[in-house]
Structure 1
Amino acid sequence: MTDANALLRPAVWQDRIFNGDWIAAHGGVHTFTEPATGEQLGRVGLANAGDVARAASQARTAQPAWGASDYKERAAIFRRAAAVIAGHHDELATWIVRETGAIRPKADLELREAGAHLQEAAAMLTQPKGQLLASAAGQMSIARRMPHGVVGVISPFNFPLILSIRSIAPALATGNAVVHKPDLQTPISGGVLIARVFEAAGLPKGVLQVLPGAAEAGQAMCSHPDIAMIAFTGSTAVGRSIGELAGRNLKKMSLELGGKNSLIVLDDADPDIAAANVAWGAYLHQGQICMAAGRILLQRGIADAVIERVLAKARSLPVGDPMGGQVALGPLINARQVQRLHAIVEDSVAAGATLLAGGSYERQFYRPTVLANVRPGMRCFEEELFGPVASVTVFDTDQEAIALASATTGCLALGVISPSLARAMFIADRVPAGHVHINDQTVLAEAHAPFGGCGTSGNGGRHGGTSDWDEFTQWQWMTVKTEAPRYPF
């Protein structure tokens, strides 16, 4: 990671923020650590409200030329950026593993998907940007998509690269400039990495600004008049605050928030396949995924068989430093998350849930946990866990499964496991969810597919595919007449 040829060599970015050049921040510096070891990984510049104001002004100045640039040249930048990621894959994966506590396959997935988002952004440049509307003779009536101007992106720590670039890339592709604030826990994977990739790909200066910062910087982005849109991914609680402040300033918003997602296993499913889906949906990246299967709903006839198999997995999955060996689960992102998760588990057990496995931790390593006899009203049933806990509720009828899965104010994803597609579809059609997966678990996303939640999981926005046009542009009606009319007064 200190190789002179490395893309992320600290000599370039340490103690700095990015405005097209690497400059000092007025908010000082921020030190970030490796969750698995507690060791210092590096220091980045810490942006304050003044840095945000300067970045927003510079981005607004740079945007018109970028929006008017040749579409082929813009598409080539995204393709070069994807090639830069592929060419530095091992180096970038190591940073993701160390900074986020991810296992290597998760880091590999994140890099591949980031490349896919960049390729999708390149493809947007040759897609239609408008519609020819009906009009009278002698004139044209056109609806065309126009950039907002400057888009502010605020991203989280869990999948920092994907959850940043899925907004940054289409925002840039549609002609906007971007001011981006990555999470301070993952400023490299979610910020510096992206800045360096676009820098290497030839993105014009000023079009992308990357400012690691605390709440002050996020609030400034939501308030500054030069930023027309906020794309936020994170918790529902913070999303409410972001939405309130951005809404007060009449900004366009895209909010993708937390959710309580259900994985329903019907009694005609294969227990081995069902258990594999349960473990993957609950334990992948230590459960720190907004799409994680937070409710495992098992039909009574298959419940014991599935629980037995999930228990075997939970007891055998190795937990440890992803850089130190072959492990399935790494650390949670910080000690605060560990304490919050453990309190949910303990409170749920006190309320009558049965702890079958796990429920303990060392430092930030939380063991894969299985809670049975979970009922509505318990914290593990009601709250987003964001940790490696399989929270199991048994149901009898399909209608009961629908009621249990629907008992939430916000849901990103729903999974239903059953060879009976008619039964599964009947259930899926009756549970509100941002996306639904028949015969799969809940943690799925692809760059070309619309992604987002409903209710308190989001404000109705979607990332991916044609949805990006809806998020990052606004319609403009334009008429063209062969000559100006003579009005009567």
Structure 2
Amino acid sequence: MSDEQLLAPSLWQNRLFTGRWVEGGGETLTVRAPASGETLGQTGAADTAQVADAARASRRAAAGWFEHPYDDRAEVLRQAARLAETHRQALEQWLVLESGSTPAKAAFEVMLTIKALHKASELPSAAAGEVLPSTPGRLSLARRRPLGVVGVIAPFNFPLYLAMRAVAPALALGNGVVLKPDPRTTVCGGFSIARLFEWAGLPAGVLSVLPGGREVGSAMVEDPNIAMIQFTGSTAAGRKIGERAGARLKKVSLELGGKNALIILDDVDIDRAVSNASWSTYLHQGQICMSCGRILVHRAIYDTFVARLTERAKELKVGDPAVEEVALGPLIDEAQRDHATDLLTRAREAGASVRIGGETRGLFFQPAVVCDVTPDNPIFHEETFAPVAVVIPFDNDDEAVRLANDTEYGLSAGVIAKDVGRALRLGERLHTGLLHINDQTVDDEVINPFGGVGASGNGTAVGGPANLDEFTQWQWLTLKSEAPVYPL
């Protein structure tokens, strides 16, 4: 099996995956390279009838899949990890082409994906429950059971990993999965996963990959055979999904947006602080839910920090990562570019100054540094999802906490300081799901629970120890040697 065979366009052209490669019932989707605008092919898209068929088939197949010996399920995950390692070059190339990733970011994403598969392969052999206290002659157990079918709606920014971090543990624990990749990253974020599990020996029907637009996601939320929705994406879409899933009593996991704060205290090494700020703001063109949306800098070092960050932004080369060595690739599409451009315009109108950047060429967006931002400025609160550093001064630790918490979001935060005790005391007061002392805001290691609070999520988490709770449900089981006689 060669790299060319893994994701050959002839395989997915006008097709989707339901355990076998079939024609889509909806309109085709164009596979496009955002950097060059080149059309890479056309994929099939599901219609609502195919969603219903896939969910029904997955529910049937999942029952048999859960009955497989635990090590058989684990071996499918291990084999998928081995295949990803063997074909990492092909996976990386598709991430560069289809998602606009730089080669370094693509390599990092594939590495995380492989780790997620290995970590998920441990779940089938994990303890499946607890023995509870009971009376003599009666055994009382709490045991974890699969949910049935998990619907995964994945984003475009880390399309392979952010889909796999839900797909792999859900499968490992005996569930079926229906995956809807983002229509802009259907191949690298959807068909790559289908192909890995197809080659790894996953029974047909357990996993379906159904590209499409909102109508496919809506059908998944409403389908009675899908027990849970795991969604990663915008807060606006997450609110709608949560509302509709709740009305149908579905379990729901929402991993949403963020306007994350990186707090830089006055005792830092400024060059290290700039390095952290630049990485967390500009990595993957700022198109990460954990990207630093606000850099809060102590006023004593503010001017120096802004000058050095501006110099750093000036040095970052923007271009097509498929053909040249660049620091930043393209934004994913015109809508994202126009949103960022509009937000910069509104920020200026509200009094902000743009020290550098913000110019666009096609989907390429020059990294920007924005100052003179107050809490009534729209760029203080709205998620940019573009390479825009918003730098805000503060005078003391209390003000830093107040500014950092002045947001509806609560995903990730970082504090940079030499005095670790001071940084930890400050960090303990932040409303955030992820907290990093002496590190920036973009971090995920697979073994950690990942989730936000407020508008960043519904308080659930995926990853590491959270996966057992997220992708199973508890069943209470009691056992007696014979049925008792009751007085009524």
Q: TM-score range by the shorter chain?
A: over 0.9
Deviation by residue 1:133-187 (Cα, 9 ceiling, x = unmatched): 0010011100001111011000010100111000001111111000110000000
Q: Which residue is equivalent to 2:452?
A: 453
Question: Which residue does the alignment assign to 1:257?
Answer: 256
Instruction: Write out per-residue CA displacement over residues 44-96 of structure 1, whole angstroms, 9 at most, x where no aligned residue.
Output: 11111111000001101101110111111111111110111110111110100
State whether residues 259 and 457 of structure 1, in contact with CA within 8 Å, keep that contact through their aligned partners in structure 2: yes
Which has the larger displacement, 72-81 or 27-36? 27-36
Residues 262-315 of structure 1 deviation map (CA, whole Å, 9 limit, x = unaligned): 000000010000000010010000000000000000001111221121111100
Mean Cα deviation higher: 298-307 or 439-448: 298-307
1:388-414 per-residue CA deviation (whole Å, 9 max, x = no partner) reads: 000010000000000000001112100
Contact 2:100 2:330 (8 Å CA) reproduced? yes
> Structure 2 matches for 1:178-257, cutoff 5 A?
178-257=177-256
Note if 1:398 corresponds to 2:401. no
- Does the 8 A contact of 1:102 with 1:322 survive in 2? yes
Q: Which residue of 2 aligns with 1:365?
A: 364
5+ residue gaps, structure 1, are none
Q: Is the CA contact 2:262–2:277 (under 8 Å) kept in the aligned structure 1?
A: yes
Q: Which amino acid aligns with 2:125?
A: T
SS for the counterpart of 1:64 is helix
Q: After the TM superposition, which residues 469-484 of structure 1 pair with which residues of structure 2 at under 5 Å, given as runs?
A: 469-484=468-483
Q: State whether structure 2 residue 285 is matched by structure 1 residue 286.
A: yes
TM-score (norm 1): 0.99
CA distance in 2, matches of 1:75, 1:39: 39
Per the alignment, in what secondary structure is the counterpart of residue 186 of structure 1?
Answer: helix
* Deviations 1:204-238, CA, capped at 9 Å, x for gaps: 10000100011111000000100010000000000
**Which residue matches 1:36?**
35
Q: In structure 2, give the amino acid aligned to 1:416.
A: V
Following TM superposition, by how much is the alpha carbon of 1:42 offset from its aligned partner in structure 2, in angstroms?
1.5
C-alpha displacement of 1:6: 2.8
Residue of structure 2 equivalent to 1:99: 98
Is the CA contact (8 Å cut-off) linking 2:170 and 2:177 kept in structure 1?
Answer: yes
SS at match of 1:43: strand
Distance (Å, rounded) in 1 between the aligned partners of 2:267 and 2:399: 16
Q: Is 2:18 the partner of 1:19? A: yes
CA contact (8 A) 2:4 2:90 kept: no
Deviation of 1:4 (Å): 8.0
Equivalent position of 1:426 in the other structure: 425
The answer as to 2:69 corresponding to 1:70 is yes
| CA distance in 1: counterparts of 2:328 and 2:466, whole angstroms | 33
Paired position in structure 2 for 1:436: 435
Q: Does 1:345 align with 2:358?
A: no
Decide whether the 8 Å contact of 1:3 with 1:9 is kept in 2: no
Q: Secondary structure at the match of 1:456?
A: helix
Q: Distance in 1 between matches of 2:261 and 2:41?
A: 38
Question: Aligned equivalents of 1:347 and 1:353: distance in 2?
Answer: 9
Task: Give the distance between the partners of 2:270 and 2:349, measured in 1 at CA.
Answer: 29
The aligned amino acid for 2:275 is A
Shift of 1:5: 4.3
Give the secondary-structure state (helix, strand or coil) at the position aligned to 1:370: strand
Paired AA for residue 45 in structure 1: G
Give yes or no for contact 1:179–1:209 (8 Å, CA) kept in 2.
Answer: yes
In structure 2, distance between residues paired with 1:487 and 1:193: 58
Name the CA distance, whole Å, in 2 between partners of 1:93 and 1:5.
13
Whether the aligned pair in 2 keeps the contact of 1:6 and 1:91 (CA below 8 Å) is: no
* Counterpart contact for 2:33–2:99, Cα < 8 Å: yes
Q: Where does residue 169 of structure 2 map in the other structure?
A: 170
Distance in structure 1 (CA, Å) of the matches to 2:320 and 2:262: 29
**Which residue does the alignment assign to 2:467?**
468
Identity %: 49
* Structure-2 separation of matches of 1:3 and 1:395: 55
Conserved in 1, the CA contact under 8 Å of 2:264 and 2:298? yes
Q: Check if 1:51 corresponds to 2:54.
A: no
Q: Which residue of 1 aligns with 2:295?
A: 296
Q: TM-score, normalised by structure 2?
A: 0.99
Classify 1:70/1:304 alpha carbon distance in 2 versus 1 (closer, same or farther; 3 Å): same
Aligned twin of 1:329: 328
Q: Which amino acid aligns with 1:278?
A: A
CA distance in 2, matches of 1:86, 1:60: 30
Give distance in 2, aligned partners of 1:306 and 1:124: 46
How does 1:54-133 map onto structure 2 within 5 Å? Answer: 54-133=53-132
CA contact (8 A) 2:96 2:322 kept: yes
Determine the C-alpha separation between the residues in 1 that align with 2:279 and 2:378.
22
Quickly say closer, same or farther: Cα 1:4–1:322, change in 2 above 3 A: closer
Cα deviation, 1:236-266, whole Å, max 9, x if unaligned, reads: 0000111111111110000000011000000
| Contact residue 100 and residue 333 of structure 1 kept, 8 A | yes
In 2, distance between residues paired with 1:394 and 1:22? 55
Task: Note the aligned Cα RMSD (angstroms).
Answer: 1.1
- Structure 1 residue 3: deviation in Å? 7.3
Distance 1:283 1:225 in 2: 41
Do the aligned residues in 1 keep the contact of 2:261 with 2:296 (CA within 8 Å)? yes
Q: Deviations over 1:328-381 (max 9, x none)?
A: 000000011111101111111121111111021111000010001111011211
User: In 2, Cα distance between the equivalents of 1:71 and 1:448?
Assistant: 21
Which AA in structure 2 matches 1:87?
T
Gaps of at least 5 residues in structure 2 are none
After TM superposition, give the deviation of residue 28 of structure 1 in Å.
3.3
**Partners of 1:48 and 1:78 in 2: how far apart?**
29
